[in-house]
Chain A
Amino acid sequence: MSQTGSILRKLQWGFAAGALVLSTLLALFMERALQESFEAEDAQVMQGQAQPLLRDLAAGRLPRAEGQGAQLEKAEWRVLDSEGRMLAQSPFMARMPSLVWPKAEQPPAEVEGPRGGTYSVCVRTWRTYEGRGGTLLLAMDRTHEEALIRGFRRTLLLAVAASAIGAALLGRLIAAWGLAPLKRIVRDAGGIDDQHLDRRLEAASFPAELQELVATLNGALERLQGAFTRLDHLGAELAHELRTPLQHLRSTLENLVLQAQGPQPPEDLSLRLGGLLEACDRMAALIEQILFLARREALGGDQKPVALPPLLEEVREFFEAAAEEAGVGVRTSAQAGLILQGDPLLLLRALHNLVANALRHAPQGSVLELGCRTEGGELCLWVQDAGPGFPPELLPRLGQPFLRGAGGGQGLGLGLALVKRIAQLHGGRLELRNAGSGARAELRFPDSMGNHR
């Protein structure tokens, strides 16, 4: 919740700040515009007033104070002579408070009255043709207008504040609405546990921006489910498999303990104890294989270029004697110069497993073939025997750990699973099928070393 909260807060304050900045700028602009238009108008009115007055004065006539009421948009005036004595003024000028007049000719300026109020004042010099002169003072009561502007300014300020708050609230609402799908992700993902590993998030029901996230999450869940299932399965099977040698250990030891108590020493002591040692070795091998299958994610740093023909020859040599005893021939059919980037020990092990398997099923007088070649951009390593072949009903499930019913006894339990994993670690795969007159096991890898060239 806190993570969503901070996005929400960011958006909310972002909207508020944006609205604040924009509306402040707008308000300043509008206020300035209004102010300037008032000032421009003042200047125009005063100019309009000043011209006829100055003309009269220049002609030597004193302007007459009209008896009519001071019009609202009219400037009051006062004529002073060169000594500053008043010569004439407009009727309402008398009512004007004493203002601070500017010294020289300037555009109209705003001054404060002694008891508040704002006045627009302007000073012009006049002279007659005869050479007499003085100053003409013009003033307009702008208090009303100033109040107007101030009121306007206050209104604008309120509007700016309100817009910021409004934007914040509205922004928060909109953002919350936009972010609502995240809550759904939290809820849906929360329902995925080890009892419901196959649940996924429905990508299509989420907005476009979240689809990639959801798809990625689903991918991760898929991979985790796979790993978890593998581990779970292996763990269960391992427990089963270990029970058998443990049982053997226990029974034999129990008997030996009892017999050791008796009058006669146990017979075949060395032999039976030796059998126990073998049981221990079997369990150790199982554990090691299970660890290998459960843990290894990638090949790691022990990769190097492995020349395949010599590897096959090494395997053939290893099984030479055993094959001869079984009356089975072994031959290699290796395409020269093929190289695979990988772990030589693992590859050797995989081949050993496949050949040992084949040898177990090859009938007397038959021939076992080991080979390697490039095929359609892939490197192919194969072991072909002339035995009964894989049982067709088991074929799709071969390679699963601890498959039963394969007729190979203990040895087949993990052998093919290991080969399959070794192939996967090298970026390749294990393909098993019945071909020719027997079983064919193929290890196929992408040809990364460019052998086909």
Chain B
Amino acid sequence: MFILIVEDEPRIARELRRGLEGAGWSALVAPHAEEALRQLAQRTFDALVVDLMLPGRSGFDLLGQLRAAGNTVPVLILSAKGELEDRLKGLELADDYLTKPYSILEVVARIRTITRRSHPETPSPVEVGDLCWDPGQRLITRNGQRIDLSPKEYALMSLLLQNAGQVVTRNQLVQAVWGLEGGVDANAVDVQILRLRRKVDDPFAQKLIHTLRGVGLRLEAR
């Protein structure tokens, strides 16, 4: 996928680009609205990541012009302003909205979501190490042994399985399991992960659920 990053702070832009390239995508950086428009005129992008605070014309102006011209490219807004009114205003022109400081993985995950429009939601069976997942039957087995999970544990596990090999952030977890936007009690989330581990990893030699401290979880056969 080809992503355009509109961000004037060079260090932040560089880290964003690294993050997106880490997800296997290509990314270009435009330091202001004029440059962004120039780039958009030259090629098609799969998604835009726009910082609202830009020198000269603001991100809002840019998006306004884009939408007025009929461009429906998926847009993710990054902003320091987190008040509800700013969020709602942003979502009128964009597809998603993240406030600073954000997790780069979160950015990746959200770009994935907003570009996923044409793909149907049916996941296909996944294998990780000796673990097999049949989403149609909601069946998870390791070494042929069926693993019984509570609804919450299953929701957690299917998120990990759908993102197998990649890191899933805590925010994504909370969203998937409880439908909340984060800012919840960390302990409760930890407990849920602990219980999942107890059922999925503890009885077996190979550990599949790995924690990356400060970042998230990754399901991987290592």
Contact = CB atoms under 8 A, between A and B. Distances in A.
B187 A276 contact: no
A22 to B, nearest CB: 60
Contact of B188 (A270, A273, A321): A321
A321 B82 contact: no
A270 B212 CA distance: 8
A325 interface: yes
Nearest to A283: B101
B71 interface: no
B215 A300 contact: no
B194 interface: yes
A359 to B, nearest CB: 7
B192 interface: yes
B84 interface: yes
A285 B192 CA distance: 22
Given A284-B101, A288-B82, A300-B84, A325 B213 contact: no
A300 B88 CA distance: 13
A322 B213 contact: no
Nearest to A343: B84
B121 interface: no
Contacts of A359: 187
Contacts of B85: 300
Contacts of A271: 213
A356 B185 CA distance: 7
B195 interface: yes
Contacts of A288: 82, 183
A356 B187 contact: yes
A359 B185 CA distance: 11
Interface string A200-231: 00000000000000000000000000000000
A285 to B, nearest CB: 7
A194 interface: no
Contacts, number: 61
B179 to A, nearest CB: 9
A376 B215 CA distance: 48
A348 B184 CA distance: 10
Nearest to A281: B214
Given A273-B214, A284-B101, A325 B195 contact: yes
Interface in B101-129: 101
B214 A276 contact: yes
Contact of A280 (B101, B180, B188, B212): B101
B183 A275 contact: no
B205 interface: no
A322 B214 contact: no
B218 to A, nearest CB: 12
Given A284-B101, A318-B178, A325 B214 contact: no
Contacts of B146: none
B187 A321 contact: no
Contact of A321 (B101, B181, B192, B215): B192
Contact of A277 (B185, B190, B192, B213): B213
Nearest to A353: B185
A318 B188 contact: yes
A302 interface: yes
A274 interface: yes
B191 A322 contact: yes
B195 A349 contact: no
B152 interface: yes
Contacts of A345: 181
B121 to A, nearest CB: 24
A145 interface: no
Contact of B183 (A273, A276, A291, A349): A349
A171 B115 CA distance: 79
B215 A319 contact: no
Contacts of B188: 318-319, 321-322, 356
A281 B101 CA distance: 8
Contacts of A355: 185
A9 B194 CA distance: 81
A352 interface: yes
Contact of A278 (B84, B187, B194, B213): B213
A424 B145 CA distance: 53
Given A302-B84, A321-B188, 14 more contacts: A270-B212, A270-B213, A271-B213, A273-B213, A274-B212, A274-B215, A275-B214, A276-B214, A318-B184, A319-B185, A321-B192, A321-B195, A322-B191, A352-B185
Nearest 3 A-B pairs (CB), nearest first? A274-B213, A277-B214, A274-B214
17 contacts: A270-B212, A271-B213, A274-B214, A275-B214, A277-B215, A278-B213, A278-B214, A280-B101, A288-B183, A318-B185, A321-B191, A321-B192, A322-B190, A322-B192, A325-B191, A325-B195, A360-B187
